[in-house]
Amino acid sequence: MARCFVTRSIPGPALERLAAEHEVDVWPGRLMPKRSQLLARAAEADGLLSMLTDRIDRDLIEACPRLVAISNYAVGWDNVDIAAASARGIPVGHTPDVLTETTADFAFALMLAAARRVVEADAHVRRGAWMTWEPGLLLGHDVHGATLGIVGMGRIGSAVARRAEGFGMKVIHTGREGGVPLAELCGRSDFVSLHVPLTPETRGLIGEAELRAMRPTAILVNTARGPVVDPAALGRALRGGWIAGAALDVTDPEPLPASHPLLEAPGLVVAPHVASASHGARAAMAERAVDNLLSGLRGDPMPHCVNPKAHGQARDEG
């Protein structure tokens, strides 16, 4: 029986399956463990089920001599040092596919909320400012018939594109599989929606040049990773009227402090990284994460592995 450390309680019954085979230590707090706490609990673990907010870097991996499997409760894995894990022969799992449609739903919800100023409208009513119907009150931008530029036409980007068809939108895209150049996409789009992983190439992908290339009526939507967008440049773009608005599910830093100057910028909608937060999607992610961890602990290939060549590497080399 192996010892597993789960860095946060996760929805659904999946952890019961893990506990039926192994000793399971679940971090009890609502917030993530502090670095010292993470190191102390992970150091005793054979298996680690981590959240995207946990920094699983080389130092942590080296401090965990018993560790044989890491399962990340996320599609992305930018919080895990894959090279360090691979060097130890530790497979790293992730949870693709099961949150694609849910995240695409939320990307479209953000797009509609920013375009039609839903958050502002709700606040207008709640503060008692709704006195009468006014023809010029809270005018927004049409989504139907607009041009949607998708940056990263993978699973989620493609799912957003399918939803755009129902609104009669014209879809253009850019990414590794082709499409139009990013600068052209920014200039042609009424909405720019980001769906790329965080890599050295995509960090700061949307900066001042890209934001200045966008139309003054355009809206930026980010459900990918916060550092894909330069936050200082975005603040300047919103205050300077380079773009009409932005809708973010992810930020840099994350979480975004209540005192952060970006929150004072006009035309901004921010959600607390909840694009995959439906009951069904989060429970399915848990099942996938546990499947990965159980396989890794058995020494079998993980069903969804970021570094499949790491499987068996430590045994093969030593």
Per-residue model confidence (pLDDT) at position 311: 73
- pLDDT over 60 (residue 158): yes
pTM: 0.91
Q: Residue 207 — pLDDT band, cuts 50, 70, 90?
A: very high
Q: 14: burial class by Cβ within 10 Å (0-12, 13-18, 19+)? A: buried
- Residues marked as catalytic: 225, 254, 273
Least confident segment among 56-60, 234-238, 247-251, 308-312: 308-312
Judge whether residue 316 has pLDDT over 50: no
The pLDDT-based confidence of 175 (bands split at 50, 70, 90) is confident
Token code pair at residue 158: 């493609």
User: Does the bond joining 255 to the residue before it have cis omega, within 30 degrees of 0?
Assistant: yes
| Residue 160 confidence class, pLDDT cut points 50, 70, 90 | very high
Q: Is pLDDT above 90 for 10? A: yes
What are 18-38's pLDDT values in tens digits? 999 999 999 999 999 999 999
The mean per-residue pLDDT over the stretch 53-82 comes to 97
**Residue 315: pLDDT over 60:** no
Provide mean pLDDT across the span 61-70: 97
At 177, is the pLDDT very low, low, confident or very high (cuts 50, 70, 90)? confident
Buried b (16+ CB within 10 A) or exposed e, 18-31: beeebebebbeeee
Query: What local confidence, expressed as pLDDT, does residue 312 receive?
Result: 59
Give all domains of the chain, ordered by start, each with its CATH number. 3-97+279-317 (3.40.50.720), 100-270 (3.40.50.720)
Residue 317 has pLDDT above 80, yes or no: no
The mean predicted confidence, pLDDT, of the chain is 95
